[in-house]
Chain A
């Protein structure tokens, strides 16, 4: 019998939805994944029991398997990991139900690390998965709160029912009808102090988080950079 040498989980080029790259590129991407200090704590081998798949919401609706992710990482199978980086990782719900693993693996955590590497290197999958999401990145990085009351627009959430329209039409009034003093805002979830925003900008700049945005959306990166630099300059803070 002929020995099977090809990875049984690899999709053939004909059906794979991504461009292949040089092996050296894959090696360098995966070296980043393996070098992440969290990685050794997220992987302890795999029994192939499938408990992670049984617990996984994404596995029920997509061709997605946390077990395949853990196994590819355990085998250091960089071809398959690259394919997963381009095709699978954005389907994960990041709920961490897979932490039920009897070996203590954290497939969701491996995916967090792989996603970070995909973003940092501007992989096609990251750009595609985050299409339409950029305004959220702008909101969280510039205001310090993730979703705001004024995002509740009927055209953005038509599937959420007619109450979205009610909220949107009465937004200012209904926000003033909230007893907590910090809740009278419409553009942010709560009132965030100016000094706090400046401190947040410093964190994004000092840790390289702002630089990561350039790879997924250059336009949003430019605007964010301008907003932050202007604000810090006003405060007399040198970057």
Chain B
């Protein structure tokens, strides 16, 4: 009988793991183009004028400047409409054309991360249906929501590596009569703002040097499939994502750090809707109070739907408990639009926010009382039937 070494016996009982030797995320482009050359899918290329930006592990990323297909966000359009309106407004102000499609569904990832009432194939099919809809128009997709952006990168990785999933999704896409399309880059709107920061700054009309800003980087932007996120040596020495902070620096605001920058906002997907005691506690105790104590900002800027919601809406209940809260929260798109002269109500729609943003506007030199009177005048026109909707012409773009 062969004698088994005790160590071998032990090892045979243990689970063995294969580990990638290199922790860097893969550069997905090679596999993407290989699948295209095999006829498995179509790659929608970045076209026209673009800016190349640096990412976490050095892979260059191309950001198309104009002719963009806006993949909107449920929470932004539904509950923070000044968020999406500001993104559109900046693009119009800078003179870039875009498509605001009706042929777009949610990525449905908020629901997936909240309830798991979906599956891999459904999530991938939803993503590819939207990408195909963009491709059919010729406009390049620009993703508004951080969760959509993160989830689509997950879906891309799964589709590139799992032939069975591709074949399952292909059958669905054939039923829909749509091609299998993935874009050359998955681009978040905050990356577009970062790439366009010089043009934005050139159109700035408000001096921000006395405005103190803290930034909450969105988890699904830079933690999920981290290799795509923008990192810039000139922003926190390349040790934190440069999305949002890079724009804030370029606009000349007083960017301040705080120790819990890596912490999540507490959104929780399911929690924000049905278990908000957790969200409120985390958002105020680990984020807002720490920011107040360590950096005392005039405004908190972030770049995702869920983060604006959690950090803004959680402060009301905390105020009732005399907690050290009370700082306005908005997206950097709204902040940049304000700096470029956008109307705080007609464009940035700040009346949909909960925390008191008026001291910030005063510090920025914006007369909010006059602005509200102008907005109310527009509302009167809508009420009286003089006009049905507020238009882009009404907001000067």
User: What residues make up the interface of A, taking CB atoms closer than 8 Å to B?
Assistant: 36-38, 41, 43-45, 55, 57-58, 60-62, 74-76, 90, 93-97, 99-100, 102-104, 112, 115-116, 118-119, 126, 129-133, 136-137, 140, 144-149, 151-152, 157, 159-161, 163-164, 166-167, 173-184, 188-193, 195-197, 199-200, 202-204, 206-209, 212-213, 216
Contacts and interface: CB of A to CB of B under 8 A. Distances in A.
Interface in B259-275: 262-264, 266-271, 273-274
B75 A146 contact: yes
Given A96-B223, A97-B223, A203-B126, A180 B100 contact: yes
B163 to A, nearest CB: 10
Nearest to A119: B116
Contacts of A147: 74-75, 78-79, 110
Contacts of A176: 382, 388-390
Given A176-B390, A177-B378, A183-B84, A200 B105 contact: yes
Interface of B: 15, 17-20, 23, 72-79, 81, 84-85, 88-89, 100-106, 108, 110-122, 125-126, 129, 133, 150, 158, 161-162, 164-165, 168, 171-172, 175-176, 178, 219-220, 223-224, 226, 262-264, 266-271, 273-274, 276, 278, 280-282, 286, 313, 316-317, 346-347, 349, 351-354, 375, 378-379, 382-383, 388-392, 394-395
A204 B120 CA distance: 12
B78 A179 contact: no
Interface centre among B114, B150, B317, B388 (most CB of A within 10 A): B114
Contacts of B347: 179
Given A75-B15, A148-B78, A184 B389 contact: yes
B138 to A, nearest CB: 18
Q: DSSP majority for the B interface?
A: helix
B154 to A, nearest CB: 9
A132 B126 contact: no
A57 B223 contact: no
A93 B271 contact: yes
A163 B105 CA distance: 28
B267 A149 contact: no
Nearest to A217: B117
Contacts of B220: 95-96
Given A93-B269, A97-B262, A199-B129, A206 B84 contact: no
A100 to B, nearest CB: 8
Nearest to B89: A179
10 contacts: A57-B266, A94-B269, A96-B219, A96-B223, A112-B113, A119-B116, A157-B313, A159-B276, A163-B352, A173-B379
